[in-house]
Amino acid sequence: MPVVVTLDQVLAERRMTLSELSERVGITLANLSILKTGKARAMRFTTLDALCRALQCQPGDLLTWVDGPEEAEEEGGA
In a domain, 18, yes or no: yes
Task: Tell me: pLDDT of 76 over 60.
Answer: no
Question: Does residue 12 lie within any of the structural domains?
Answer: yes
User: Residues, the chain, total?
Assistant: 78
- Interval 4-21 mean pLDDT: 96
Instruction: For residue range 14-50, list pLDDT tens digits in order.
Output: 999 999 999 999 999 999 999 999 899 999 999 999 9
**Confidence class of residue 55 from pLDDT cuts 50, 70 and 90?**
very high
Domain count across the chain = 1
Is 76 part of any domain? no
CATH number of the domain encompassing residue 39: 1.10.260.40
Q: Residue 74 has what pLDDT?
A: 52
Q: Are 44 and 27 in contact (CB under 8 A)?
A: no
